[in-house]
Structure 1
Amino acid sequence: MTRSAAAQAGGAHLLYVAWGYPPSRGSGVYRAWATANAFAERGWRVTVLTADRETFALTTGTDTSLEARINPSVQVVRVPFPAPGFRNDVRKWSRLRAEAPELWNGFYEWRGQRMFPERVYGGWRRALEHAAREIHAANPVNLTIGTANPNVDFIPGFVLHEAFGVPYVMDYRDAWQLDVFSGNRITAESSAVDRWEKRLVAGASEVWFVNEPILRWHAEVYPEHASKLRVVSNGYDFAPIAVPRTDRLPKASLVFGYVGTISAAVPIREIIDGWALARKRSALVRASRLELYGHLSHTATANSDFEAQRERFKTHAISHGGSLQKSAVSAKYSEFDALVLMAGAGRYVTGGKVYEYAATGLPIASVHDPANDTSSALAQYPWWRGSARADAESYAATFIEVAELAAAQTEEQRAAAREWARRFEREAQLAPRIDGLAELIGAVGTEEATS
């Protein structure tokens, strides 16, 4: 069957490469999980190439409930991830590593970056290449999508394109040469990273970004490839969002909630200062509480800034309920009256929970740098209020305003907000690209059949 016939029959084969895939609970895992599922639901044969479960248990932590939601038709191929920093069983160490760990680690990192210029992940290149070739040999691939970071995830697409002409897509959740928080370029022109990215972008059929500011930055760097660049926002998964309860309207006390990773980039001290000020100035906020749920970093490393603030929690009616599995998120949203959106500073940053928050129909208090792209993403949401500045005074004003909105919001208003937010459903973000890529591989197949 030619690629054109495969696409028309809905049987095209997608190789999807994602270091972080369920049961990982790390940054970007929901995008990877949902994208692979979306292609499978549209009739594509999907193979996911990812790391082994042990890697996630040792690094990001795991969420088995999300793994259970992988489309049953998706084939998952797990390749052992060799990074030594994640292998801490000293019984398996070599004598050199045990006696000279700094020397050994330095040599391993140097060797990995010679394979591919990315710290920690570069040494995974050979395993990915080998796995991609085996998958293609057993079941010819029509399209490859690699999602980054890590950027080594782009290698299988590049290899299959170079060897067999298979089209590939680069899906950036952040950026490789742009620091999305500072806005600075973090690599030198003509560096190994710069040379690799130029090669990859030149060969790609499409390059995806999560927001318009990141796309514009890359369009300036690669003007000759600007026509390939696309915004594919994260969106939300409609099914897991529960309808918040309305049995306490009007409300004399409220539950503000945050669900998401609380990384070191989040200005947690200023946010708590703002909440404390709001409690002093508003009887409604003073009668309310703030519940936080989520891991304290994207890895197993604790967030020291957050831990330093814990002693203030009881005084200011704040709690941290730990992390939530994906299956528990819906029920938790139904317990909140308003949502708190926290994020690191940076105009290129779009918080991963933005669209999911909007889908609840609840009022949202954004307590972060107003230049953050989250603000533009939610600017038209009728129940969103953003802080004018990234400081405690502005955060306090936002908490008070959103508390008043939440106390008065009716069931009908909430339903209307939920309907407005349907434009952010992940299917709406992915469907145009899936259709476009089906046409692309059909065109490639037609060219092959007539050549």
Structure 2
Amino acid sequence: MNQARPHMLYVCWGYPPCRGGGVYRALATANRFAEQGWRVTVLTADRETFYRFTGADETLEERIHPDVEVVRVPFEWPILEADLRKWSRSRAANPKLWSKLRTKRDQIPFPETGYGPWRGTIEKAAERIHQENKVDLTVATANPHVAFTAAYHLHQKFKVPYVMDYRDAWLLDVFSGDRLHEPNSRAARWERKLVESAQEVWFVNDPILDWHKDLYPDHAGKMHTVANGFDPDLVPNTHDRGAVVDRPLVFGYVGTVSPKVPLADFVKGWQLAKERSEDLRDAKVKIHGYLGYYAQPRADMLGIINAAADDGVSYEGPVGKAEIAKAYDEFDVQLLMLGKGRYVTSGKVFEYLATGLPIVSVHDSMNAASDVLRGHPLWFPVKDIEDPETIADALVEAAHAARTADEGIRAKAREFGAGYRRDLQLDPRIEALGGVVKVGV
């Protein structure tokens, strides 16, 4: 290996085989640095963590660039331990008190419940990696935000520059727009010193970027929007699709259905739409992904879907990233269902853009995702997410488009989305950082 190449340490909690939403950004970022000639080491949690707590997608591990070295370290999550045989006597005697005390204990090393104790583990691992193979740049991604501490540690001790990569935000509730931590809180003090020392700070959309520029005006120049984008090799080939005239339509959703997603409102709107439109006769809705944040589907969400089975709504379970193109190939219309929030984009919107298929936005019009989709020729936004009637209106319009849109319109839709390829989002920052470390890439 050419030792003249810069060495980037990428610190993240969720990395393949983790199946969480942020894992795609983590995977793509490390891979792109490697593709651009950097030596890359990823510091992450051990594989067992994901099998036990979040669910795992083994197909993602196959997509790790062969030049990326992955260093896995232990992670303990005792508050989620379901095996009663592993509980202490004090926990078994009073679970609520134990949980309260554990939450406080977690935040002693770092103010983040569940993740705080990981700080010592990743700081030691990062230092060991640096001593064995000098790190020229650290990129740490959140959440959890404890990942930033490893980057800060190397900077403080060895002057290694670092990038803070936010998928959402730390002090900002991206759904409500409220501030989550007071200015004098430990979380706020930690973020302030991290931002002050960072080389760059990345955000996934302009609204979140602007919020932080207002919060840290003296450091606005180091802040950048790095949108998620889509991975060209993972989206389906829809170039030969035309109008659907000879079979029932399939509406599809791919992604985690969080508690913020208006699932029940969508189902009501779907039922109304089926009553109104001949285009929706025998139409189906296929929901792929996880119901909730963990491997076990949430019973309330599953109940909503099962209750609408007679209306063609079905839950298809999780889908591996490598098989995701097959899921999209079944869709005639895509459902972008998101929680309400001015600062919410979702990485899924970029994959949807790549297909050229109609998109129904089942989310509040003020979401940042609307900024991305505005101008798309096959975009059908819901006017009032709390009104099932307007959800039905958008579904009916999208169904009509699926029946009538020709290849020319779909080509314009794909052209619209082409600029959101993930590598196009990352490359300008990677090039700039190559200059920072003063090593030829």
Do the structures match in fold with TM over 0.5? yes
Determine if contact 1:255/1:288 at 8 Å carries over to the other structure. Answer: yes
Answer yes or no: is 1:215 the counterpart of 2:238.
no
C-alpha deviation, 1:298, in angstroms: 2.0
Determine if contact 1:268/1:305 at 8 Å carries over to the other structure. Answer: no
Distance 2:232 2:26 in 1: 16
Please give the residue correspondences for 1:250-265 in structure 2 after superposition, counting only pairs within 5 Å.
250-251=245-246, 253-265=248-260
Distance 1:397 1:368 in 2: 14
Answer yes or no: is 1:439 the counterpart of 2:435.
yes
Structure 1 spans left out of the alignment, 5+ residues? 446-451
Determine if contact 2:333/2:399 at 8 Å carries over to the other structure. Answer: yes
Determine if contact 2:136/2:161 at 8 Å carries over to the other structure. Answer: yes
Answer yes or no: is 1:405 the counterpart of 2:415.
no
Distance 1:307 1:336 in 2: 21
Residue of structure 1 equivalent to 2:353: 358
- SS of 2:311's partner is coil
Distance 1:30 1:73 in 2: 18
Please give the residue correspondences for 1:363-402 in structure 2 after superposition, counting only pairs within 5 Å.
363-390=358-385, 391-402=387-398
Choose the corresponding residue for 1:68, options 62, 81, 85.
Answer: 62
C-alpha deviation, 1:249, in angstroms: 4.2
Answer yes or no: is 1:337 the counterpart of 2:337.
no
Distance 2:212 2:294 in 1: 28
Letter in 2 for 1:326: K
C-alpha deviation, 1:305, in angstroms: 3.8
After superposition, the Cα gap between the structure-2 partners of 1:372 and 1:248, relative to the gap in structure 1 and judged at 3 Å, is closer
Letter in 2 for 1:175: A
After superposition, the Cα gap between the structure-2 partners of 1:377 and 1:305, relative to the gap in structure 1 and judged at 3 Å, is farther
Answer yes or no: is 1:204 the counterpart of 2:198.
yes
Residue of structure 2 equivalent to 1:124: 118
Answer yes or no: is 1:310 the counterpart of 2:308.
no
| Identity level (%) | 49
Indicate the larger mover: 241-250 or 196-205.
241-250
Determine if contact 1:264/1:305 at 8 Å carries over to the other structure. Answer: no
- SS of 2:112's partner is coil
Distance 2:97 2:115 in 1: 18
Residue of structure 1 equivalent to 2:419: 423
Letter in 2 for 1:232: V
After superposition, the Cα gap between the structure-2 partners of 1:213 and 1:335, relative to the gap in structure 1 and judged at 3 Å, is same
Count of paired positions: 437
Determine if contact 1:358/1:418 at 8 Å carries over to the other structure. Answer: yes
Residue of structure 1 equivalent to 2:16: 22
Give the TM-score taking structure 2 as reference length: 0.95
Letter in 1 for 2:417: A
Structure 2 spans left out of the alignment, 5+ residues? none
* Aligned alpha-carbon RMSD (Å): 1.8
Residue of structure 2 equivalent to 1:448: none
Distance 2:7 2:44 in 1: 17
Residue of structure 2 equivalent to 1:182: 176
Determine if contact 2:141/2:148 at 8 Å carries over to the other structure. Answer: yes
Determine if contact 1:252/1:284 at 8 Å carries over to the other structure. Answer: no
- SS of 1:320's partner is strand
Give the TM-score taking structure 1 as reference length: 0.93
C-alpha deviation, 1:301, in angstroms: 5.4
Distance 2:182 2:378 in 1: 43
